[in-house]
Structures are given as structure tokens and as C-alpha cells.
């Protein structure tokens, strides 16, 4: 992992901090879009070491957190069916639906399995021809190519017992929704590096122009995040708004073109409901007409879903950057990672879980750099 | 590395050959049970107490305080790089006794076998137990075997209990950490958990990772010979180093701070954790210990550890503080700090 150590070098980090201090003269509110960046910021303690004028607002880029409650309830209903093997990435299992989570369904006899790749679910379908294998296909543009590939392969293999419960979401419409909300405070964005490695950077040019907000494509290691912040502050201080790529080692302007072709074949753009935020037009993907047979929502017509969100949970305001997790009255009290009221307390990319896990509920001593 | 265990070296004793797999009768208390004991367990464990075939072992123990512990082992798969459930079951209880400063003496073994388990697999497991017991210098003095219907177990479950003797002037307990003490880990962390994960999920992380499964009583004896100012010993198994340090901080009402860059983390473990969104301090170990030692004895203890093969990469990683009692704080590589809490349940791989 030598190539990663280089991006965690304390000396270089110190130099970047010094530069950020030197150029910062006014308060700025910057949103890191991606949950992976939130995780890195909190895990490395970056937010504590920045100039006090710089506020990092944690964006809605945790796929687990924004998956709508109704879809999680559908997942719970499908997973409970005796003929189904329900496959999911690990951190979806503890996300609360209306009353229970996938771990509960598993303990009650549901065949729920953690997989590391959607292609593992395709292999399970091949190995279990008498069972229905359902994969919970969630995530942003980053996880979408592998999910698209799984559906594509299932079709090539003629698998009739494989389907996908899809809730893909897209970053650019979310940025637009945040900028257009009346209570918005965000002045610039760190765009999600891995999303851009798939989709390229061209989608962000119109957003920069329309909202006159700097957007800097940023990676995930400490030095990547610091460089993204430095370039963002530089633009803000100069009154500029440009699209900048601070993650050029992984992101090309055109993105991954073969992956985009696969996505365009398997998915089509649709309105999507974001948990805690509401419906954002044209903000997600569903399976395209060619692949509708593999849509688990079509195959298992789940009826009678009555969703019920916790009345105490403020995760919507957290996801829109209006509330810090530890400003929520339930934080650390009714709501902990052991008893999560909302999805933001579940995934390690969720802002509430990151705050809780890395101790934003205790006063630290000796935390000077 | 091939993950398939190899049983070709194991020759089945004659009377057991008529049944290549475990049948219900092997736990029934009749002739089949007796054959298993006579031809498999007794020859492997070679214990006078066991050979007496009484209802209980009769033991001589020196005067003084005893440490007494029990643990059950349900690992899947049964065989993994660096060990198997048998070695794990012996070393697990040996290490629990050693963490009280005790010299482990006697172990008992309870086995729950699933109908259909190949006798060759059981043989390999029992041989590994015998070898681990010999390495640790403990005697297996009593045992029991039951068989459950096929589908009602994962091949083998093993319980071991053990007794050890604590030297008179040793006072090691989780509540003995004092502000000013230093925190030492005995070597590279995260190996067992990643080894199990790699075979269970068929994941590969560049270099193959083998479990660190090993008996720690020899290392502890070497440490105690160097100094008696060892206040706490724990082996960071499930929950990893993070759980261990949190337990010590809570039991002793102290804070613990450590430097992330001082943690001995093997490259393959770091790579696996980066890929899966896990943290090495939450990953299980089976042959490592964390020691809380008075600061003026730390160098002596560290020297003694580094001279022992199981402590060659021992390192001082942090210290015990008065502030934030019950809370463990890590200093990050870039100079930030974060609280290191226990995991809620199993560590779950992240989506991206």
C-alpha cells in the first residue's frame, strides 16, 4: 500500500494545512458530497485541524442513508419470502425499515446474505436454480457499473431466477436540489472523486455556470481531501467559480466511456425519492425497458407498504446540511449505532454514525495538531 | 495459496475405518463412542488422567491462586490458513489463562460433532489440538463428545476449559491500569480476522494472510521474568484491539491514547481493510496481546518481548491518561485525533 501511504504523509498534510490557513480570510461553507469523504474527514480528524472559518457540511452522498424507507420495507418483505435468497452489501442489513431491519428478517428465518459484489449474487442464482436470488442494487454512479454488469450477465446467461431491487441515485441532480433549496448555505462543493471516475467531469460544468459555485473533484485520502479544500478555498477567496479536478490520478474529463455505455443500456433515468429529503426529479436510475424482467419490484408485486419514519429523527436536516449530527436532540440518546432511528446512524459513511463512532460526543483533550 | 485443507497425511486408525464419517452412534456412549476415545482422543492427547477413563480427572495442584476459564469455538471454516478450530480451541483457553499471569496446567475438551463429519477431518483437528497442547505445555485431562443430527451444527463445535496457577506476586487484572502506564502490543494486528474473512468469502488481498493463532503463555512468562510491574494483559480476539483497550479503560476508569502510526499493521491487512471499509483495530487476533506496563518497566518488558519469537515486533503504541476516563483516543497519522469505540456488532463491509 505504498501508493496510499504517500497520500497520508503527515509532513505534506502539514504543508497543505499551512497553505489553507494562509489563504483563508473569511468564513466559507463547503459541502463534501460523498459519504466516503465524510468518513475520511472525521476518521482522520481533518475538520478539527482546519481554520475555524471553514465549515464542512456533510452532504447526502451516503447511498445507504438516502435509500427511501419504502424501498427498504419492500426489501424486508421480499427477503422474508421462503423462496428468496436476498443478497445485499453489508451495511444495508442494519438500516431500520418501518419497525425492523434485514438482520431481524434473517433471525426470523429469511435467507439474507452479505455479498461483496453483485456478480456473487449472479453466481448464487446459477448455483441455486430452484431459488429466487434478489440483489439489493443501491448506490451512486460508483456502484452502478458493477450492478449493470450483473443484470447484463444474468440476461446473457438466461437466468430466470435473478432479479435486482434497484435504487440508484445520481449526484448532479442532488447538487442542483441543494443549491435551489431556499435555506441553502452551501457555497462550494467537493465533488465525489469515484463518481467522476465513472461519469467524468462534464456533467458538472453546467452546475458551476448556473449556480456560480466552485466544484472541485476530490479524492478520499487525507491529502486528496486537503488538496480539494485548498483549491476550493482559493476559488472562493478570489470570487471565482470553476470546475477543477484535484483527483486527476483517477478522474478523466470523459470518465469511463465503456462503463457509461453499459449504464445507458441497462438503466434509464427516473424520479427518485431520497430518504430524509424527498423526491428529486430525474435523480436516479431504474432498469430500462430491455431489462424490466429483472426488476424485483415488478417480479414481486409487494403490496401494503405503510412506511413510518421515527418522529425523533432529524436525518433529513442532517442530509441537507442544516443540522450537525450532534445538534439533533436524539443524537447519542435515543439514537445510537446500536439503536439507530435513521439510516444516517447506520452506515460508517453516514454523518451521524461517523460523528458517533469517532467521538463527537465527548470533549477531547490534547487534540492540538 | 490453496484454501483446501489436506488430509492425505492422516491415516485413520483401524477400528475407525469402518465409518469414514461421524454417525450418531459416535456420541451414543456405546462401542462406537469408546472406539473414538480409545483410538483417536487417548492416543493423541496422551494423558494419564485421560487414560484412567474415570468419570472425572483427579489432579494434583500446587498451593496458591488458580485461574480458571472456559471458551467455546464455532469458527467457520474449520480449516483456515495458519490453523484450524482445534489449534484455536487450545490456544484460546491457554491465552485466557495466560492473560491473568497464570501458567496454564490442565485443559478439558468438549466436542459437539455434526453427523457426517469426515473422520479424517476430526483426526486432523484432534492432532492439531494435541500439537498445540504440547507446544503450550498443558495436559488435556478430560473430555466429552456428543453428536448432533446432520444440519444441526457446522461440523465441529469445541469447548475448552482450563486451570492455571498464578505466581504469588503477580497482580494482573483489567482494572489495574494507572495513568502514566504505557500500552504495548506484542506484534502485527488483524491477521486472524482477515485470514478467516479471506477464506470464508473467497477474497484475495494480494499477499496471502495466515492466522496468528498461537499460545501466549511462553511470552507472558518471559515478560514476567523481566518485570512484575505488568498491570494488565489482554488478548485482543473478537472486537480487536479497539474492544480490548475500551474494556481496560472502562474497568480501570482511565483514558487511553495511542498513535496510529505506531500500530504494527501488516500491509495485506491494511489493504484488505482499506478495500472493505474496515479498521485493523476492530479485527480479531488469536496470538497477540496488549500489555499495560508501569512506565519505568516498559523498556525492560519490551526488550524481553522482542527476544521471544511471538513478541519480535512488539511496540509501545500509547499511554494511559487521567483524562477522558473510559474513552480510547487515537492520534491519526496527519495529527488529528479521534475516539476509538467498540463495534456495535459484526464489522460490516461498506458499500463503496
Nearest to B47 by CA among B58, B32, B36: B58
Name which residue leads in pLDDT, B29 or B284: B284
For B332, the closest chain A residue by CA position comes to: A44
The residue with greater pLDDT, B60 or B84, is: B84
Q: What's the CA gap between A222 and A98, in Å, rounded? A: 37
Compute the distance between CA of residue B289 and CA of residue B219 in angstroms, rounded to an integer.
Answer: 9
Res A183: pLDDT:
87
Going by pLDDT thresholds of 50, 70 and 90, the confidence category of residue B349 is low
More confident residue, B236 or B31: B236
Torsions phi, psi of A290, nearest 5?
-60, -25
Beta strands of chain B (E only): which ranges? 65-73, 79-80, 83-84, 103-114, 139-148, 156-166, 182-185, 230-234, 255-259, 290-293, 315-321, 328-331, 337-339
Chain A CB contacts of B258 under 8 Å are: none
| Mean pLDDT for the stretch of residues A70-99 | 90
pLDDT confidence of residue B64: 82
Least confident stretch, A266-270, A306-310, B42-46, B114-118: A306-310
At B17, the pLDDT band (50, 70, 90 cuts) reads: low
Mean pLDDT is lowest, of A75-79, B30-34, B163-167, B320-324, for B30-34
Task: Report yes or no: A326 at the B interface, CB cutoff 8 Å.
Answer: no
Give tens-digit pLDDT for B332-343.
988 888 889 887
B316 strand-pairing partners: B184
Higher local confidence (pLDDT), A5 or A230? A230
Short-list B266, B235, B259, B262, CA closest to B248: B235
* Neighbour order of strands in the sheet with B139-148: B65-73, B156-166, B103-114, B139-148
Cα separation values, A123 from B41, B213, B318, Å: 41, 33, 46
| Residues of chain B neighbouring A10 (CB-CB closer than 8 A) | 261, 333-335
* Top-confidence residue, A23 or B347: A23
Beta strand pairing status for B328-331 and A188-192? unpaired
Is the pLDDT score of A83 beyond 80? yes
Mutation for testing the A interface, residue in B76, B246, B334 having most A CBs under 10 Å? B334
Residue B15: predicted pLDDT: 62
Q: In the prediction, which pLDDT does A3 show?
A: 62
Verify whether the Cβ–Cβ distance B345 to A43 is below 8 Å: no
Q: What is the pLDDT of residues A174-206, one digit of tens each?
A: 999 999 988 899 999 999 999 999 999 999 999
User: Which residue of chain B comes nearest to A141, CA vs CA?
Assistant: B352
CB contact under 8 Å between B351 and A46, yes or no, is no
Mean confidence (pLDDT) of chain B: 90
Domains of chain A: 2-62+171-245 (3.40.50.11750), 65-169+255-299 (3.40.50.11740), 315-357 (no CATH)
Pairing mode, strands B255-259 and B182-185: unpaired
pLDDT bin (cut points 50, 70, 90) of residue A96 is confident
Whether the CB of B336 is below 8 Å from some CB of chain A: the reply is yes
Higher pLDDT residue, A279 or A363?
Answer: A279
pLDDT above 70 covers a percentage of chain B that reads 91
User: What pLDDT is stored for residue B5 in this prediction?
Assistant: 64
* Mean pLDDT to the nearest integer, B322-347: 85
Question: Angle A10-23/A222-238 helices, nearest 10 degrees?
Answer: 10
pLDDT digits (tens, 9 = 90+) for B65-111: 999 999 999 988 999 999 999 999 999 999 999 999 999 999 999 99
- Please check whether residue A169 touches B, CB under 8 A: no
Question: A167-204 in b/e burial notation, b at 16+ Cβ within 10 A?
Answer: bbbbbbbbbbbbbeeeebebbbbbbbbbbbbbbbbebb
- pLDDT over 90, % of chain B: 68
Q: Which residue of A has its CA nearest to B331?
A: A367
* B207, B277, B338: best to mutate for the A interface, most A CBs within 10 A: B338
Helix (H, G, I), strand (E, B) or coil at B88: helix
B350 — pLDDT class (breaks 50, 70, 90): low
B151/A contact by beta carbon, under 8 A: no
User: Higher confidence at residue B177 or residue A47?
Assistant: B177
Are B201 and A142 within 8 A, CB to CB?
A: no
Peptide bond into B49 cis (omega under 30): no
Mean pLDDT of A135-152: 95
- Asked if A42 is an interface residue toward chain B (Cβ–Cβ < 8 A), one would say yes
Quick check: B201 contacting A, CB < 8 Å? yes
Facing residue for A142 by CB, picked from B276, B334, B352? B352
The answer to whether B204 contacts chain A (CB < 8 Å) is no
Question: Do the Cβ atoms of B339 and A369 come within 8 Å?
Answer: no
- Mean pLDDT for A304-320 is 82
Q: How many CB atoms lie within 10 A of CB B2?
A: 7
Mean pLDDT for B35-44 is: 88
A137 pLDDT above the threshold of 70:
yes
Confidence of residue B2 (pLDDT cuts 50, 70, 90): very low
The whole-number pLDDT of residue A337 equals 82
**Tens digit of each residue's pLDDT (9 = 90 or more) over B190-201:** 999 999 988 887
pLDDT of residue B13: 66
Pairing of strands B103-114, B156-166: antiparallel
- B window 254-273, beta carbon within 8 A of A: 255, 257, 261, 267, 270-271
More confident residue, A332 or A261: A261
pLDDT of residue A365: 43
Q: Which residue has the higher pLDDT, A276 or B137?
A: B137
Q: Kindly state the average pLDDT of the residues A284-313.
A: 88
Q: Answer for the pair B287, B88: CB distance below 8 angstroms, yes or no.
A: no
Q: Is A282 left (phi over 0), alpha (psi -120 to 50) or beta?
A: left
A67 touches B: beta carbon within 8 Å:
no
Helix (H) or strand (E) holding B199: helix B191-201
Residue A364 near chain B (CB below 8 Å): yes
Q: Please report where in the chains the cell 486527476 appears, as a residue.
A: A248
- All structural domains of chain B: 19-166 (3.30.1330.10), 174-339 (3.90.650.10)
Average pLDDT of the residues in A11-21: 96
**SS3 state of residue B304:** helix
Amino acid at each position: 500500500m505504498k501508493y496510499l501511504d504517500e497520500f497520508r504523509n503527515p509532513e505534506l498534510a502539514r504543508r497543505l494545512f499551512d497553505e489553507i490557513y494562509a489563504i483563508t480570510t473569511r468564513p466559507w461553507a463547503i459541502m463534501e458530497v460523498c459519504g466516503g469523504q465524510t468518513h475520511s474527514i472525521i476518521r482522520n480528524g481533518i475538520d478539527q485541524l482546519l481554520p475555524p472559518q471553514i465549515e464542512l457540511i456533510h452532504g447526502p452522498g451516503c447511498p445507504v442513508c438516502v435509500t427511501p424507507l419504502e424501498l427498504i420495507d419492500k426489501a424486508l418483505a421480499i427477503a422474508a419470502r421462503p423462496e428468496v435468497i436476498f443478497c445485499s452489501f453489508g451495511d444495508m442489513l442494519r438500516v431500520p425499515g418501518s419497525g425492523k431491519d434485514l438482520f431481524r428478517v434473517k433471525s426470523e428465518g429469511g435467507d439474507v446474505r452479505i455479498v461483496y459484489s453483485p456478480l456473487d449474487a449472479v453466481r448464487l442464482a446459477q448455483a441455486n436454480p430452484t431459488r429466487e436470488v434478489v440483489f439489493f442494487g443501491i448506490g451512486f454512479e460508483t456502484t452502478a457499473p458493477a450492478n449493470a454488469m450483473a443484470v447484463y450477465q444474468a440476461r446473457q446467461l438466461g437466468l430466470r431466477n435473478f432479479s435486482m431491487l434497484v435504487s440508484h441515485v445520481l449526484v448532479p441532480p442532488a447538487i442542483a436540489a441543494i443549491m435551489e433549496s431556499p435555506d441553502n448555505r452551501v457555497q462550494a462543493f467537493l465533488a465525489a472523486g469515484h463518481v467522476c471516475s465513472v461519469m467524468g467531469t462534464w456533467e458538472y460544468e453546467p452546475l458551476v455556470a448556473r449556480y456560480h459555485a466552485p466544484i472541485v473533484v476530490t479524492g478520499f485520502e487525507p491529502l486528496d481531501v486537503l488538496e480539494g479544500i485548498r483549491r476550493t478555498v482559493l476559488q472562493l477567496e478570489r470570487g471565482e467559480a470553476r470546475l477543477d479536478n484535484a483527483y486527476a490520478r483517477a478522474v478523466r474529463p470523459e470518465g469511463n466511456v465503456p462503463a457509461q455505455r453499459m449504464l445507458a443500456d441497462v438503466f434509464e433515468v427516473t424520479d427518485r425519492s431520497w430518504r430524509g429529503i424527498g423526491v428529486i426529479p430525474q435523480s436516479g436510475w431504474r432498469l430500462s425497458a430491455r431489462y424490466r424482467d429483472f426488476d424485483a419490484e415488478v417480479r414481486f408485486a409487494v403490496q401494503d407498504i405503510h412506511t413510518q419514519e421515527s418522529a425523533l429523527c432529524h436525518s433529513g436536516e442532517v442530509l441537507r446540511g442544516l443540522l450537525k449530527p450532534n445538534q439533533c436532540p436524539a443524537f447519542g440518546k435515543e439514537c445510537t449505532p446500536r439503536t439507530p432511528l435513521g439510516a444516517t446512524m447506520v452506515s460508517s459513511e453516514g454523518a451521524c454514525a461517523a460523528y458517533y463512532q469517532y467521538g463527537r460526543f465527548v470533549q477531547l483533550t490534547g487534540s492540538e495538531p | 495459496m490453496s484454501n483446501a485443507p489436506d488430509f492425505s497425511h492422516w491415516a485413520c486408525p483401524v477400528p475407525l475405518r469402518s465409518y469414514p464419517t461421524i454417525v450418531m452412534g459416535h456420541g451414543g456412549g456405546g462401542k462406537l463412542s469408546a472406539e473414538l476415545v480409545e483410538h483417536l482422543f487417548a492416543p493423541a492427547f496422551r494423558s494419564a488422567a485421560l487414560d484412567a477413563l474415570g468419570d472425572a480427572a483427579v489432579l494434583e495442584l500446587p498451593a496458591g491462586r488458580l485461574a480458571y476459564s472456559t471458551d467455546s469455538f464455532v469458527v467457520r471454516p474449520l480449516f483456515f490458513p495458519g490453523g484450524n478450530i482445534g489449534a484455536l480451541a487450545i490456544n484460546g483457553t491457554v491465552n485466557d489463562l495466560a492473560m491473568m499471569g497464570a501458567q496454564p496446567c490442565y485443559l478439558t475438551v468438549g466436542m459437539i460433532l455434526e453427523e457426517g463429519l469426515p473422520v479424517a477431518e476430526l483426526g486432523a483437528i484432534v492432532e492439531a489440538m494435541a500439537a498445540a497442547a504440547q507446544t503450550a505445555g498443558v495436559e488435556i485431562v478430560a473430555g466429552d463428545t456428543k453428536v448432533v443430527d446432520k444440519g444441526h451444527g457446522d461440523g465441529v463445535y469445541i469447548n475448552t476449559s482450563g486451570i492455571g496457577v498464578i505466581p504469588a506476586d503477580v497482580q494482573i487484572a483489567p482494572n489495574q491500569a494507572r495513568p502514566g502506564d504505557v500500552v504495548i502490543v506484542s506484534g502485527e494486528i488483524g491477521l486472524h480476522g482477515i485470514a478467516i474473512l479471506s477464506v470464508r468469502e473467497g477474497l484475495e488481498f494480494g499477499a496471502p494472510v495466515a492466522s496468528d493463532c498461537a499460545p501466549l503463555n511462553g511470552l507472558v512468562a518471559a515478560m514476567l521474568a523481566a518485570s512484575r510491574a505488568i498491570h494488565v494483559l489482554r488478548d485482543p480476539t473478537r472486537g480487536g484491539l479497539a474492544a480490548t483497550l475500551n474494556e481496560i479503560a472502562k474497568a480501570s476508569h482511565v483514558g487511553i491514547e495511542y498513535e496510529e502510526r505506531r500500530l504494527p499493521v501488516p500491509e495485506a491487512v491494511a489493504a484488505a481493510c482499506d478495500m472493505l471499509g474496515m479498521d485493523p483495530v476492530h479485527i480479531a487476533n488469536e496470538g497477540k496481546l496488549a500489555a499495560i506496563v508501569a512506565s519505568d518497566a516498559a523498556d525492560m518488558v519490551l526488550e524481553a518481548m522482542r527476544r521471544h519469537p511471538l513478541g519480535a515486533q512488539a511496540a509501545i503504541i500509547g499511554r494511559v491518561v487521567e483524562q477522558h476516563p473510559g474513552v480510547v483516543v487515537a492520534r491519526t497519522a496527519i495529527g488529528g485525533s479521534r475516539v476509538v469505540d467498540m463495534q456495535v456488532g459484526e464489522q460490516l463491509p461498506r458499500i463503496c
